[in-house]
Amino acid sequence: MTPLILVVGFLGSGKTTFLKNLMPALGLAEIRPTLLINDYQNARVDAAQFQNLTEEVKALSGDCVCCGSRDELFSFLQEFKHSPGRVMIVETNGTTDSAHLIESLALDPSLKKFSHPIQLSIIDGKRWQKRFWHNSLERNQAKTASHIYISRKDSIGTDRVKAVETSLIEHEVRGTYTDPVAFAMELATIAACIDDERDGFTAPHAHGHDHHEAADHHFSSCEIPLPPLVDRARFCEWISRLPEEVIRAKGLVVFKDDPQEFVVFQKVDAADAVQFFPVGKSPRIQTPLILLIGPQLPQEVLNQSLVELNSEASV
């Protein structure tokens, strides 16, 4: 299974600079990266800077890969040649909806040879939360990240760095701080741990293989299978008790009171009520599951929660 890395950050945050420092570090770790750069206009210009740093780099100019350029991104990933020691890195453009992109990638069965997405957010130390009406997008891009890097530290001073770190805590950004060398070492460890194919819609920890456990906490998302039939009221109560680390939950469920109807559900924020969307008897995906998005997802708590739901479903 090939690690799939999403590098996210607002316009001009320093994503390309981070990647230019990451590539040599990956080489020293004997990791062969493939890089896809998505930007509105200058993707080819940025890609040219990596010609001598990685064996394969592709430019994807135009709309965000989470919406307008989504099909082009998926086509590239579906044609990717998997082999040991490789990682796939997608540098997204500055306005990407990271949670939506993670959902799309994690739920697509054609990408089962990739890991669940691992998100690195580049935080612009100089401009963090100084973007007026774009501040909420910048925060949302950071909240789904498993790894955080604050750029421009050398030019902004320690007081500003501390202020940014405090702001990240206040906005419940839980990603682990990293740098190009440390991130390269982590990717090497992850690549060595997750050598199996992603099995349909099963969470990494649910495979039963011990070698997955060391890498589970690096993921920005995970999948958990749900019981074939659940009680509607008990399901709503269960999902309301998900850990606060879960930023977004989405999936497919079948209720006991209507066993012929598949229902898509989503919960965008811990404070929001779950939403349901009936999709008929024969949707494309017919395996009850839940996709959880959020950094540092507590695997033991989630496993226990699933045990409780299974117990309730059998009643």
pLDDT at 312 (0 to 100): 63
pLDDT at 228 over 60: yes
Instruction: List the strands of the sheet with 56-61, edge to edge.
Output: 56-61, 32-39, 86-91, 4-8, 118-124, 147-151, 176-177
In a domain, 107, yes or no: yes
Residues 168 and 234 in one domain: no
For residues 180 and 239, state if they share a domain.
no
The set of residues, in sequence order, having a beta carbon less than 8 Å from that of 295 and lying 6+ positions away, is 119, 143, 144, 145, 146, 147, 174, 175, 176, 220, 245
pLDDT band at 200 (very low <50, low <70, confident <90, very high): very low
Note the pTM of the prediction, 2 decimals: 0.75
Residues 238 and 181 in one domain: no
**Of 98, 177, 104, the residue nearest 144 (C-alpha):** 98
Domain contains 212: no
Residue 274 is predicted with a pLDDT of: 87
How many domains would you assign to the chain?
2
Residues 189 and 238 both lie in one domain = no
Q: Is the pLDDT of residue 162 over 90?
A: yes
The reply to whether 100 and 157 lie within a common domain is: yes
Same domain (yes/no): 176, 249: no
pLDDT digits (tens, 9 = 90+) for 107-152: 888 898 998 889 999 999 999 999 888 899 899 999 999 999 999 9
Q: Is residue 209 part of a domain?
A: no
206 falls within a domain: no
Instruction: Give yes or no for residue 214 having a pLDDT over 70.
Output: no
Q: Are residues 90 and 156 in the same domain?
A: yes
Residue 284: pLDDT band with limits 50, 70, 90: low
pLDDT at 203 over 60: no
Domain identity same for 155 and 251 = no
* CA atoms of 114 and 195, how far apart (whole Å): 10
Tell me which residue range forms the domain holding 234.
226-313
Residue 122 sits in a domain whose CATH number is 3.40.50.300
